[in-house]
Amino acid sequence: MPDATQSVVSQITIVKPRSGWQIIDFKALRGYRDLFLFLVWRDIKVLYAQTIMGFAWAILQPLIQIAIFTIIFGQVAKVNTDGVPYLLFSTVAIIPWTYLSQTITQSSESLVKDQNMLGKIYFPRLIFPMTPVLAKLVDFGISILILLAVLLYYRVSPTWNLLFFPFLVLFMMALSAGVGLWLSAMAIRYRDVKHAMPFAIRMFVYSAPIVYSASSIPQQYRLLYSLNPLVGIIEGFRSCLLGTPMEWLYVIPGLLITLLIFVSGALYFQRMEKIFVDVI
């Protein structure tokens, strides 16, 4: 049974001990495109299997959080939002935050969760932590509906800032991917990550201007504060959707840090890749 699609020139693979730092082999990754897309599709398809609400969960989760934050921080604590209605203020922040927190959690668990597959078949291990980065975009897309509803309710008209939206989505994906690479590679060696994650995620909500406004941070700490990439992403989304001036002072440092996390994460992941199966 000759296979028509089989290449005439057969590939040569050399298996030998790897050492030191490796850069990502994008050419090799391309061959696994079909598999990557299938795994993304599996994640999407399976996520809400055997639930009554189905994809409505993608709306319910952020919606409930928005409601709680609006009541506690908007009504009770009356947090200063520079004049923006609190509901609007928190919605534009919580939608990207939901994506970030869910993607990072899933990405960090990916290798441990699929350890059975890890030990039985080879494909580039990078695919595991990268899958949620794409798969979670579906939830993100659905939760945009909440955003649209709130924006319409407050009659916020779109501005040219909206053009930054795709850039901010990429920024958000790059950050989740970078953190996911680091954490998944660490989690397979040290299961401490699994126990620290829920706690860390809950803490990180307060490190970014999600419930409060970035302008309430004292001037002298602003640069330090902006090193947290979450700040740039959340403030970026706020400017982009509400039409306030884009705060590049927040965005640029966060972007640089994100690039650093992503590149170092990829290097660390590749360095650790060779021992994954042996330490499961």
Partner 1 sequence: MNESENAIVVKDLSKCYRIGLKENIHDSMGGALFSFFKSPLQNYRKHRSLYTFNDLDSPDGENADDVLWALKDVSFEVKSGEVVGVIGRNGAGKSTLLKIISRITDPTGGYAEIRGRVSSLLEVGTGFHPELTGRENVFLNGTILGMTKKEVHRKFDEIVAFSGVEKFIDTPVKRYSSGMKVRLAFSVAAHLEPEILIIDEVLAVGDAEFQQKCLGKMQNVSESGRTVLFVSHNMGAINQLCSTAIMLDGGRIVAKGESSKIVEQYLAKIFNSSDNHDLKNAPVRSGDGRLQFTAAYLLNAAGRKTTMPIAGDPVDIVLEYESYHDLPRVKFLLTIFNQLGIAVTHCTVDCSGKRFDVGKGEGRVICRIPRLPLPLGQYKVSIVAADDMEQMDWVPTACVFDVEASHFFPHQFVPPMRYSTALVDHSWEIHTGKHI
- Return residues touching partner 1 (CB under 8 A): 1, 3, 5-7, 10-18, 34-35, 38-39, 42, 45-46, 49-50, 116-123, 189-190, 274-275, 277-279
Contact 124, 29 (CB under 8 A): yes
CB of 115 to partner 1, least distance (A): 12
Contact partners, residue 21, CB within 8 Å, separation at least 6: 267, 270, 271
Nearer to partner 1, 190 or 206 (CB): 190
CA 58 to chain CA centroid, Å, is: 15
Which CB, 123 or 268, lies closer to partner 1? 123
Output the smallest distance, CB 267 to partner 1, in A. Answer: 17
CB of 104 to partner 1, least distance (A): 23
State in angstroms the smallest separation of the CB of 12 from partner 1: 5
* Residue bearing tokens 């401490």: 192
Q: Closest distance between partner 1 and the C-beta of residue 197, in Å? A: 18
Work out the angle between the directed axes of helices 165-189 and 86-113 (0-180°, nearest 10).
40
Closer residue to partner 1, CB minimum distance, 122 or 199:
122
Q: Shortest distance, CB of residue 37 to partner 1, whole angstroms?
A: 8
Nearer to partner 1, 3 or 218 (CB): 3
134 touches 42 (CB < 8 A): no
Residue 13 sits at φ, ψ, to 5 deg, of -110, 135
Of 139, 185, 115, 187, the C-alpha closest to 40 is 139
Q: With respect to partner 1, which residue has the nearer C-beta, 13 or 220?
A: 13
Tokens 């709130």 appear where?
150
Per the CB < 8 A criterion, the answer to whether 98 and 231 are in contact is no
Shortest Cβ 187–partner 1 spacing (Å): 12
CA-based max dimension of the chain: 73
45 vs 202, beta carbon nearer partner 1: 45
Rg (CA), the chain: 21
Work out how close the CB of 124 gets to partner 1 at its nearest, in angstroms, rounded to a whole number: 10
CA dihedral 148, 153, 158, 164 (to 10 degrees): -40
> Which phi-psi region, left, alpha or beta, contains residue 50 (left: φ > 0; alpha: ψ -120 to 50)?
left
DSSP 62-109: HHHHHHHHIIIIIIIS----TT--HHHHHHHHHHHHHHHHHHHHHHHH
Between 7 and 220, CB nearer to partner 1: 7
Rank residues 44 and 242 by Cβ distance to partner 1 and give the closer one.
Answer: 44
